[in-house]
Amino acid sequence: MKVFVNLERAEMVGLRFSHTVPVVLGTNECIVQAIDEFDLVTEVKVTIQVAKKLVILLTIGKNAMYVNGKAITLDASPFISNNRTMVPIRAIAEAFGATVTWQSKAETVEIELEGIFISMQIGNNIAMVGQKIYVLDAPPVIRKSRTFVPIRFISEALQSKVFWDAVNQTVTIERWSTK
């Protein structure tokens, strides 16, 4: 039996094969062809999704944020308000790779990432994610000239997982991205 992956011959050991395929972030397609001793060809198209993991670690009262282990200094520390962890949104959103826009007249922060659009107004407990309306437990606030938002809401709206460590007062955010 002979096996080819993307027209390159795969290594065979018994009836098992292996082949290294270069991939990129996003969708990758491979064509696997098996040719038996009678020259009959079986072909299968395999789709492989490749994503990278982003991990952000924040600690209440500390002005350091860790993005995939790399320390980044924040100009304002996370704090707790109404049992919600509030974070300076620009630093967090930019760590995600999002675009942040500040509408000063309306005191509104807008965040866009991979087709997800979030809009929040200072002091208002109503937020928009796309066309859906959400009621927040803790509205965005301005403190030390920085806009702070509830991190769990933002992270989950951006399709991330959030983990709270009450003992160490830390928040860990994990997000997989294909971009």
Taking the model in full, what pTM does it have?
0.77
**Res 178 pLDDT > 80:** no
**Res 177 pLDDT > 90:** no
Domains of the chain with bracketed CATH: 2-50 (no CATH), 53-161 (3.30.457.10)
**Res 179 pLDDT > 80:** no
- In this structure, what token pair is assigned to residue 66? 């860790």
Across 161-170, average pLDDT: 94
pLDDT of residue 82: 82
pLDDT tens-digit readout, 68-122: 999 999 989 999 988 899 999 988 898 989 999 999 999 999 999 999 999 999 9
Residue reference for tokens 């989950």: 156
Across 14-25, average pLDDT: 91
% of the chain at pLDDT higher than 70: 100
**Burial grade of 166 (CB within 10 A; 0-12, 13-18, 19 or more):** exposed
pLDDT tens-digit readout, 32-56: 999 999 999 999 999 999 999 999 9
pLDDT of residue 92: 87
Of 171, 126, 141, give the one whose Cα is nearest residue 81.
141
Number of H helices, E strands in the chain: 2, 20
**Res 16 pLDDT > 80:** yes
Strand partners, 117: 112
